[in-house]
Amino acid sequence: MAVTETPPQTVAASSEPAPRTRHEPTGLAAVLGAGDHKVIGRLYIGFSLVYALLVAAAGVTIGIERLDTSGFGILSEDTAGQVLSFHLVADPLLLIAPLTLGIAFVVVPLQLGARSIAFPRAAAASFWAWLVGGVLLTVSYLMNGGPGGGRATGVDLWIVATAMVTLALVLGAICLATTVLTLRSPGMNLMRIPMFSWSALVASVMWIISLPVLLGTLVLAWVDHSHDGIAFGSNAELAGQVTWAFVFPQVYLLGVMLLGYFVDVLATTSGTRLAARGVAMGAIGAFGILGFGAYLQGGRTADIASEPFFTVLTIAAVVPIFLVLGVVGDLFRRGSFSANAGVGFAVAGILALLLATLGGAITSISAVDAGVAARDGVTHAALFAAFIGALGGLHWWATKILRRPAGTPGAYLAPLLLLVGTAAYVIPDLVSGWAGDGPEKTVGIEAMNIISLIGLGLAVIGALVAVVNVLPSIRRADDVPADPWAGQTLEWTTSSPPPPGNFAEQPVVTSAEPVLDQREESA
């Protein structure tokens, strides 16, 4: 053979295409182009906590302003109205809803044994749309463009930004609900899904049903505002068309996932199985239905709130809370408990939600003749309950959401401060609201406002303690336990933090507590 000839095997090898090496993006590129549900969830969580600083600043400013009821002190009348409106809108749309949605984005696919969230690119789009919309919403208030604002272009920007944020949350809810309905592990029917995933499904479906009503109202408001307020009236009248989306009972929907978190944590801590899963699932579903508030759209909230239909629904909202407490009480009877971070936040959150629903039931009774302050108190109690539950979720699933377990000392102090602060912040508003709005019923109102401001300060300190306590979880660590709580559901079977794809093999389940099954079989 001549030296210029090529051996046959070499020719065959050279005719095959060279293997292509896939380069995974890293750093900022990995974040900006992420389709991993865990990355998207962390982005939601991180930026919602940034907005928490703005919401807290607005709340404290209004609290200081209320100390002197004779007039406006640190703010002008127009500015005070804009700050109050920002606090009302940003609290649910920029803090509570995205925070709970972010935690659900991370945890729910893991609980279901899924490799990803449904429509991952749409889930990523929901975050970026929410983030941009949130920035524009904040800018609109700086332009004096919130409801009742004096700058027409700012009002236009507020309408567009609020619609953008609302649409983003609806898109995220669609991704989450589809994940629960279609991406469950083999053997996991709806009766076997973990309670937190069930509550995420209920909340997502109710958001999908109710938030488009707000979106449609904003579209009409845009058209109306472009034609000199022919239908809705002046900028000041815009608030009356959208307020229902930011007060109770609509804000009860933000506490639905708290119920699922509460049951999951207490069941895991008890080390035993739920004996009444159907009751718990029915109670969570009923609470979601009773939290639907879009029927208040189209009229004055105060007028509709005096109708018997509204009274019956708000009183009935207390029942699911007691049913869930009864299911968990049975766990106490059959199981054994130990104190941990998750239990503290779960108990504090459920007590705050119970305060909200009881306050809402009393406020809705026409004989009470409740004032605006009472409705604000109920709304704030529900929002704080959902916030406490979300902070608890960060601690409970810290090894899955972040990289390592959260600290211990602050995990016990934070829920106590949050619960006491919430009660002190809300109860004075409830009492003053139940007294009515008349000038003859304002004796002692300034003293109650002082108590309310102190309570808000305690709650803010509690939130800061909780966030600082979880910050060390961001750092990488070796030998992080996959199951630090002796859990019962599938998220505890994968490594901490979970790898891309979540599971080496898709798990197959035969009960609602597959990890507990494994431990019993090995024993």
pLDDT value at 15 more than 50: no
Q: Does residue 7 form part of some domain?
A: no
The tally of domains found in the chain comes to: 1
2-17: average pLDDT: 45
Taking Cα atoms as reference points, which of 310, 316, 260 lies closest to residue 286? 316
494-516: average pLDDT: 91
Supply 364's token pair: 């809705």
pLDDT of res. 303? 61
pLDDT in tens, 287-326: 999 999 888 876 555 566 667 888 899 999 999 999 999 9
Q: Measure Cα distances from 64 to 327, 380, 421, 450, 458 in Å.
A: 42, 17, 16, 8, 14
pLDDT of res. 22? 44
d(CA 315, CA 200): 23
Q: Does residue 281 form part of some domain?
A: yes
Q: What is the CATH number of the domain that holds 268?
A: 1.20.210.10
Burial (CB < 10 A; 0-12, 13-18, 19+), residue 26, is exposed
DSSP string computed for 303-359: HHTTSHHHHHHHHHTHHHHHHHHHHHHHHHHHS-----HHHHHHHHHHHHHHHHHHH
pLDDT value at 370 more than 80: no
Q: How many CB atoms lie within 10 A of CB 209?
A: 16
- What is this structure's pTM? 0.91
Q: Does residue 415 form part of some domain?
A: yes
Q: Does residue 263 form part of some domain?
A: yes
Q: Does residue 28 form part of some domain?
A: no
Q: Does residue 15 form part of some domain?
A: no
Supply 70's token pair: 């004779």
Q: Which domain holds residue 375?
A: 36-499+509-522
Q: Does residue 428 form part of some domain?
A: yes
What's the mean per-residue pLDDT of the chain?
A: 86
CA 429 to chain centre: 24
Q: What is the DSSP letter of 436?
A: -
Q: Does residue 4 form part of some domain?
A: no
